[in-house]
Structure 1
C-alpha cells in the first residue's frame, strides 16, 4: 500500500497487521504529497514504485486523469463487496466512472473512499489585523489590499479557479454556461483569476504552511488536513470557513494498472477487499479534528454534522 504521509494512522496499520497474523505480509509506504504518488504511476521507479502496489492513494481530483491515462484498473468485484454495500449514494456517484474518467451511474468502480475534508483559510491575526487588514469571512476578503503579495495557496488550478468564481458570487463548481449566464463571461473570470494571482506570493502544496509559520505570508488557502494542526499549535493562527461555501476534497484508494500482489504477480492481492472493508468499518468512521476531517464513509448524518460546523452562525467556533 502506498499512502499520503499521515493519512493512515499507525494504530490502523498495526491493527490490520495483527488481524492478518502470520497469514500474509502487510507493508505501508508513505509519500510526502499525492502528486508524488501520481508521478510514480506515470513514471514507475524500478523498485518500490506505487505503480506496482496493490493500492495507491490519490485525491479525487486525480482520479479522472489517472483513469484516462490508463494508470489504474477498476477495483475487482467491487460491486459485490460488503464495503461497497455500506457506502452512501453520494460516495457511489463519485467512485463510478466510465473509461474516460467521467462520472457514470453504470461505470466500473475505480476507487474506494478513505477520508474527506474541506478547503479552509488560515490567517495570522498578529500580522493581518495588526497592520490594518480585516478578518477573512468570505472569499472576497482575500482580495483586500493588505494581502497583496501576502497570500499563499495550494498548488492547484482547480482551487484557484474555484476561489475566483466564489469572489464573483458564483458557485465554486460553476460551469462555463453558468459564467456566461451570470454576465461575467470568460474574460471576466480570467481577469479575476489574474487579480487573485497578484495577491499570491506562494503557490505550493509543500511550502504554503511553512510560509505562514515564518510570517512570509499572512493568510493561506489550503486543505483542512494541513491547516488544522497549525491552528492547534499556534494561538496567532485563526481558521475560517468562508460563508459562501467551501470546496470538499476526498482521498481515495485506487488500484494501479501494474498492481502485482496477486497470484503469479498479476493484479492486486486477494487481501485488498479485506483492507478496504477494514478501513470502512463504522467504528473507524469517527469524527476527526473538530468535525472538519472525516474518515469515510460519508453518509447523510455526518454530512449534516459537517455542514453545521461550516454554517455562518457557527463559523466562529472554528
Structure 2
C-alpha cells in the first residue's frame, strides 16, 4: 500500500492510499483527508530561526511524501512488457511431417519382427491313449506359438483321484504341482467316471459345443449320451460335458499255441473264464465295472442291471459267490501290467480293453482276440475341462 502526504491550502495533510481493484493486479488511488494543522505562527514568542526550521521541516515532509506517491503509482500502473515470438508455420509443418515419417518407420520395423509369445496348453492323458502323430498333427494345425504340455497317468482312476484332490482336502492347504490333473486345462476322463465328475463339480461343460464341427459329426447316440444334468444323468435338455476321442469294447485275448498244446477249446464267451483248467492262467483289468459286469454276463444278466435282488436269480449272494470263484481263477487284477504278464507268458488269457489288447496282440504271434458272444461293455475315453485348476498352490 503506497502512502503519500501533501500540503493542502486548508492547512490539512491529505494522505493518499493505493487500494487494489478486485479481480485485478492494478491499483487505484483513494484520498483520505485528515485534519492536521501546522501552526506556522505560534502565539508564543519564538525566534526567526525556529520559524525557518519549522518551515523547512514541513516542506521536506511534503516533498518526501510526494516522491513516495509518485514511485508507488508508477510501479503499480506500469504494465509488464509482453514478449511475442513469431512462429513460422512452414517450419512447424515440416517438423510434423518428419515426426510422422519417423513414427511410420518405427511401426514398420515393429511389424516385421517376430516375438516369442507362447500359448501354453496343459493336458493330462491316459498312458498310451495318444499316439505321437496325434500331438504332431494338432500342433501343426495350430499356431507355432502353441506350447503343448502333456503328462500321462497309468490309469483312469489315478486321473480321477488326483482331479478330486483339491475338493477332498478342502480344509487343508493342498500342494499340487503343474503336472497334476487338477492343474490341467484339459484331461482324459473315462465315460464311467463322467457322471461322478459332474456330480462332484470337478469339470465344467463345454461352451457352445452344439455349434462346433466335432459335435455336428457325431451320431445321434453320442449326442444323447453326452448330454447330462447336474447329477450326471443322461438328460436331453442337459449340457455337453465332454468330447469323445476314442472308444472300444471289452475283449478276451488268449495264446493259441498254449491252448492247442493242452488240447483246450478256444475262448468264446465269459463262461470260459470259470473253466477249472484256466485257474491261475488269467490276468484282468482292475475295474469294478468290468469285473462285476463279467460276473453278471456269466449269470445271464445285463451289464446295466439296476436291481440285483429282483433281476438275478439268487440275488446278491449268488453274485458274490460267482465273484469269489472268478477271483480264484484270475492270477491278478492289474490295469497297468495285466498285458505285460500275458506277453512274457506268465498267463495264457488276458481280459481287458480293446485299445490295450489289440496293439499288443498285433506284435505277438499266435494270439487270438475275441469279443464274448453274449455281449460286452462299450467304453469311451473323453476330453473334459478341469474346473479346479485355479485352486493350484505352488510350492
Shorter-chain TM band: 0.7 to 0.9
Cα distance, 1:37 vs. partner?
1.9
1:133·1:144 contact (CA, 8 Å) conserved in 2?
no
1:86-125 alignment, distance < 5 Å: 86-125=217-256
SS in 1 for 2:244: strand
User: Could you say which residue in structure 1 is the equivalent of 2:149?
Assistant: 27
User: Where does the alignment leave 5 or more consecutive residues of structure 1 unmatched?
Assistant: 266-318
Ranked by relative contact order (alpha carbons within 8 Å, sequence separation 6 or more), the top structure is 1
Pairwise CA distance, 1:93: 2.1
What's the counterpart of residue 233 of structure 1?
363
Given the alignment of the two structures, is residue 185 of structure 1 paired with residue 343 of structure 2, yes or no? no
Could you tell me which of 314, 333, 350 is aligned with 1:203?
333
Give the number of the structure whose alpha-carbon radius of gyration is greater. Answer: 2
Which 4+ stretches in 1 moved above 6 angstroms? none
CA distance in 1, matches of 2:235, 2:144: 40
Residue-by-residue CA offset, 1:38-73 (whole Å, 9 max, x unaligned): 232123622222212221011111111222222211
Residue 213 in structure 1 maps to residue 335 in structure 2: no
Is this contact kept in 2: 1:95–1:110, CA < 8 A? yes
Compute the displacement of 1:220 (Å).
1.1
Q: Compute the TM-score of the two structures, normalised by the length of structure 2.
A: 0.61
In 1: Cα distance, 2:160 partner to 2:311 partner: 36
When the two structures are aligned, how many residues end up with a matched partner?
Answer: 260
Q: CA–CA distance in 2 between the matches of 1:128 and 1:235?
A: 14
Quick one: distance in 1 between partners of 2:156 and 2:280? 27
Q: Secondary structure at the match of 2:178?
A: coil
Corresponding residue of 1:248: 378
Aligned equivalent of 1:156: 287
CA–CA distance in structure 1, aligned partners of residues 138 and 365 of structure 2:
37
> Given the alignment of the two structures, is residue 5 of structure 1 paired with residue 139 of structure 2, yes or no?
no
* Matching residue within 163, 167, 180 for 1:41: 163
1:230 touches 1:237 (CA, 8 Å); kept in 2? no
| Whole-angstrom CA distance in 2 between matches of 1:20 and 1:230 | 32
TM-superposed CA distance for 1:82, in Å, is 3.2
Aligned position for 2:267: 136
SS at match of 2:251: strand
